Amino acid sequence: MFRMPNSPVSPTKSPRALCAIVPPFLLSRIATLDDPRFERAAHAARRSLTDIGHDHLDHGRHEHTLPPRSLRPDQTAVARGTISRAISDAQTGEILPGVLVRSEGEPETGDVSVSEAYDGLGHTFALFWEVFERDSIDDRSSPLEATVHFGRDYDNAFWDGSRMVFGDGDGEIFTGFTRSLSVIGHELAHGVTEFTAGLVYRGQSGALNEHVSDVFGALVEQYAWGQTAGEASWLVGEGIFTDEVEGNALRSLRAPGTAYDDDVLGKDPQPAHWDDFIVTQEDNGGVHLNSGIPNRAFWSAADTLGGFAWERAGQIWFDTLTNGSLTPRSDFSEFAAATIAAAVARFGDGSEEQRAVEAGWALVGVVPTTN
């Protein structure tokens, strides 16, 4: 099984899901490859699956029985909006956190992965603070911590409940996971979800957990690059595949099911409509699969509204995540209703924003819950 950090877990903090960017069904496919071109990749995928547990740690058993406490252990008072980053190096081992190699304000080390992780944490902090006035993951100035070079040829990146962890990939199918800013934003957004809605990582609530991370991962990238909704790629994980793969990214919010179509990996299986919802026990009930449905709804709302997606559609989704309208087991219909209510609360009944959100859910066949 995957070895969690050596540091003791606070007794006030309930168990957390280990949320990884590469879905287990994709790793399983790679693990069964019998092709000399991808021998290293197959071995790496088998190792990655073993490390996180082939049943994916049964994340769904863990609910938020206690609210998570601040990730700033000493509770030192700092000015709101003050970023504090720490990057460690696992040195191809699997014991966290690894060796601290760069803290806030220190110069570059010459290690590209360290620089990418450090900068990516900064871009993610900037979106949440400058746009939504959320002060780090817990809104209490918690440090942002990451570990790079985790494992040997490790084919994943994940949020473990306190830090982001990045593998270097196998070099045949996956490259280093710090290369994608949307991956960094995605993983850190899992932390924000833990400290807000606490969506249980199984079934529809788990797919919404993944969806929220995909949304904010995409928005981190768009905000950093100054892209409008029309200019953005709406891809999550762009740049983590090698040139051997026929694909652009892990997922597409604009067109779920089209991110890759490859002889080795197969075709992106994400559904884009409620009619195609996948019922499965794998992948914690399809959390990486069915997230495509709300992803397309968000993209539709953002595309309809135009301009910078974080200003209106993103604000509505952030309000929904943080305003207490969701429960840990909220389903798609409840989430849809909550986003519509958030649009009304911020922009007014009958507003363009409300209509765009309603049209997005209608596009994907999700009917909002009515009181």
> What amino acid positions are annotated as catalytic residues?
187, 288
- Structure token digits, residue 367: 């009917």
CA 62 to chain centre: 18
Residue keyed to tokens 């956190």: 97
- Identify residue 115 by its one-letter amino acid code: S
First to last CA, the chain: 44
Q: Which element (helix H / strand E) includes 345?
A: helix 332-347
Helix, strand, coil in percent for the chain, rounding step 5: 40, 10, 50
DSSP per-residue codes, 113-161: HHHHHHHHHHHHHHIIIIIT---TTTTS---EEEEES-SSS---EEE-S
Q: Residue 357's beta-bridge partner residues?
A: none
- Structure token digits, residue 134: 């959320």
Instruction: Please say whether the beta carbons of 96 and 89 come within 8 A.
Output: no
Q: Residue 174's beta-bridge partner residues?
A: 241
Rounded distance, CA 283 to CA 133, Å? 33
Hey, is 50 helix, strand or coil? helix
**Phi/psi of residue 240, each to 5°?**
-95, -10
Instruction: Please say whether the beta carbons of 71 and 10 come within 8 A.
Output: no
Among left, alpha and beta (phi > 0; psi -120 to 50; other), residue 150 is: beta
Q: Residue 120's beta-bridge partner residues?
A: none
Instruction: Please say whether the beta carbons of 157 and 165 come within 8 A.
Output: yes
Rounded distance, CA 251 to CA 85, Å? 28
